[in-house]
């Protein structure tokens, strides 16, 4: 029975589960550790939030390097190495005795995450799919969304055993859970002898057929295209907003007299609700012009951010949860399928890495600037309105991307 399943779907399954665990612990779960760390060490929110910016090394300095490495060495080796290193970093984080050691653990985590999350997992999936790439990436990227379900578990572990023991359990758990999954990864159909429906050992191609040569665009040509530059600047705005929200949501809601457990549920709800956006926008991106669909997703994020700034008004948190989550979930899928459609698969890893490296400036600035604003003004109000404006600018940037056919004609 399993032999009849196209092997690309096993790649999607493995990447989904690895993304689920890693993102849940190091990205969405970080907000649960802010107050315990501040209470034990007396560190400011800005000092603790800087660690989230160091975590952004994975999408900053490392993402372009990983992009070149995954195109050269394949996804499987990098996945195994990345899962192993992230587990070490999480355990080291639980041994923290100083701010320097705290930052060092996050740098190690960033190095490992670069090898087992977005760039590598999206490249692995892109190499196996063409026609249904939006759906495949939507399912895979739902692992990042479902990762929010780990947040209440992390809150419970911290409450029951303390934050240090919780981190040890989470680090060892990643090794037990993630390492076996890396052995399911195959780099591309050409190297696989898996067979199955949609794949042939004699002439293996991605699901839906292989790209014609004229649709493959080299890395150097792609990065000079206007569409790529506009997408990159819009991604800076998205990452700035997302990283700031997931880092500061629990302290922000606590300041609104919302209980820690309820804040944890809301923090978990963001990625979980984003699953709706990952499927819906992934499906829409396979059927309509991707840039226009992305503009709608950015509009959703902007509406959600405005509601977040007005969270003290009844019902606004639910408006935020739906619109912000579905918007960012959709964009997490659409950016990859956009690159795949506009530029092909053979430089996909390099292009994804370059885009994430550039957009990581937003992920680095967002949490730290938000922490500074809180320390400076005693609240987050102005900061959320600032991010709402940034997302509005992102909508305008995406609307200026020409449809693919028109861009290809202009370049010819």
DSSP string, 243-295: HHHHHHHHHHHHHTT--HHHHHHHHHHHHHHHHHHHHHHHHHHTTS-HHHHHH
> Side-chain half-sphere of 108: how many Cα atoms within 13 Å?
18
Determine the distance from the C-alpha atom of residue 211 to the mean position of all C-alpha atoms in its chain, rounded to a whole number. Answer: 26
Judged by phi (left if over 0) then psi (alpha if -120 to 50, else beta), residue 195 lies in left
How is domain 2-190+206-411 classified at the CATH fold level? Growth Hormone; Chain: A; (1.20.1250)
Exposure string of 127-150, with b = 16+ CB inside 10 Å and e = fewer, is bbbbebbbbbbbbbbbbbbbbbeb
Higher pLDDT, 357 or 98: 98
The conformation of residue 403, written as its DSSP 8-state character, comes to P
pLDDT tens figures, 329-345: 899 888 877 887 777 76
pLDDT tens figures, 150-161: 888 898 999 899
* Strand partners for 207: 129
CA–CA separation, 389 and 393 (whole Å): 6
Please check whether residue 347 is in contact with residue 217, taking contact to mean a CB–CB distance below 8 angstroms.
Answer: yes
The count of other CB atoms within 10 Å of the CB of residue 333 is 35
The count of other CB atoms within 10 Å of the CB of residue 241 is 30
* Residue found under tokens 């087992």: 116
- Three-state secondary structure call for residue 205: coil
Nearest to 372 by CA among 244, 187, 263: 244
Judged by phi (left if over 0) then psi (alpha if -120 to 50, else beta), residue 321 lies in alpha
pLDDT at 325: 93
pLDDT at 198: 37
What residues contact 369, with CB distance under 8 A and at least 6 apart?
244, 383
User: DSSP secondary structure string, 120-136?
Assistant: HHHHHHHTTBSTTHHHH
User: DSSP secondary structure string, 308-367?
Assistant: HHTTTSTTHHHHHHHHHHHHHHHHHHHHHHHHHHHH-STTHHHHHHHHHHHHHHHHHHHH
Q: Report the range of poorest mean pLDDT among 92-96, 137-141, 392-396.
A: 137-141
- Three-state secondary structure call for residue 207: strand
Whether the per-residue pLDDT at 200 is higher than 50: the answer is no
Q: Report the range of poorest mean pLDDT among 177-191, 290-304, 339-353.
A: 339-353
CA–CA separation, 134 and 131 (whole Å): 8
Nearest to 187 by CA among 127, 231, 276, 129: 127
What is the rounded radius of gyration, in angstroms, for the C-alpha atoms of the chain? 20
Please check whether residue 221 is in contact with residue 350, taking contact to mean a CB–CB distance below 8 angstroms.
Answer: no
pLDDT at 58: 56
Higher pLDDT, 104 or 219: 104
Nearest to 215 by CA among 341, 114, 97: 341
Determine the distance from the C-alpha atom of residue 147 to the mean position of all C-alpha atoms in its chain, rounded to a whole number. Answer: 11
| Helix-strand-coil split of the chain, %, nearest 5 | 80, 0, 20
The count of other CB atoms within 10 Å of the CB of residue 396 is 12
Nearest to 12 by CA among 176, 169, 175, 134: 134
pLDDT at 211: 40
Whether the per-residue pLDDT at 85 is higher than 90: the answer is yes
pLDDT at 3: 63
Domain ranges of the chain: 2-190+206-411
Nearest to 333 by CA among 284, 292, 299: 284
Please check whether residue 80 is in contact with residue 179, taking contact to mean a CB–CB distance below 8 angstroms.
Answer: yes
CA–CA separation, 392 and 396 (whole Å): 7
pLDDT tens figures, 392-408: 999 999 998 877 655 55
CA–CA separation, 134 and 338 (whole Å): 9
pLDDT at 194: 45
CA–CA separation, 294 and 138 (whole Å): 14
What residues contact 389, with CB distance under 8 A and at least 6 apart?
none
């Amino acid at each position: 029975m399993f032999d009849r399943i196209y092997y690309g779907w096993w790649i999607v399954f493995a990447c989904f589960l690895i993304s689920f665990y890693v993102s849940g612990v190091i990205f969405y779960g970080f907000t649960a550790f802010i107050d315990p760390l501040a209470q034990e060490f007396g560190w400011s929110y800005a000092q603790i939030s800087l660690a989230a910016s160091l975590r952004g090394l994975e999408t900053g300095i490392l993402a372009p390097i990983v992009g070149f490495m995954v195109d050269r060495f394949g996804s499987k080796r990098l996945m195994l190495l990345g899962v192993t290193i992230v587990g070490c970093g999480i355990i080291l984080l639980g041994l923290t005795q100083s701010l320097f050691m705290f930052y060092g653990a996050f740098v190690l985590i960033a190095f490992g995450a670069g090898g087992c999350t977005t760039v590598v997992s999206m490249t692995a999936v892109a190499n196996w799919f063409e026609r249904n790439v939006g759906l495949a990436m939507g399912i895979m990227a739902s692992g990042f969304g479902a990762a929010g379900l780990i947040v209440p578990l992390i809150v419970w572990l911290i409450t029951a055993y303390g934050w240090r023991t919780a981190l040890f359990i989470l680090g060892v758990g990643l090794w037990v859970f993630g390492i076996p999954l890396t052995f399911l990864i195959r780099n591309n159909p050409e190297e696989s002898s898996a067979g199955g429906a949609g794949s042939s050992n004699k002439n293996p191609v991605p699901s839906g057929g292989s790209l014609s040569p004229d649709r493959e665009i080299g890395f150097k040509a792609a990065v000079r295209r206007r569409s790529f530059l506009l997408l990159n600047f819009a991604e800076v705005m998205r990452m700035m907003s997302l990283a700031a929200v997931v880092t500061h949501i629990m302290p922000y809601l606590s300041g609104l007299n919302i209980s820690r457990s309820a804040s944890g549920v809301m923090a978990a709800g963001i990625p979980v609700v984003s699953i709706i956006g990952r499927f819906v926008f992934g499906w829409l991106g396979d059927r309509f012009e991707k840039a226009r669909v992305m503009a709608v997703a950015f509009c959703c994020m902007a509406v959600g951010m405005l509601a977040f700034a007005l969270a003290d008004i009844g019902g606004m948190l639910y408006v935020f949860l739906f619109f912000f989550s579905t918007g960012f979930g959709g964009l997490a899928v659409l950016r990859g399928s956009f690159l795949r459609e506009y530029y092909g698969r053979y430089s996909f890893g390099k292009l994804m890495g370059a885009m994430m490296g550039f957009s990581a400036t937003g992920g680095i600035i967002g949490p730290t600037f938000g922490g500074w604003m809180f320390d400076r003004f005693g609240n987050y109000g102005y900061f959320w309105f600032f991010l709402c404006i940034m997302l509005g600018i992102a909508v305008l940037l995406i609307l200026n991307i020409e449809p693919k056919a028109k861009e290809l004609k202009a370049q010819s």
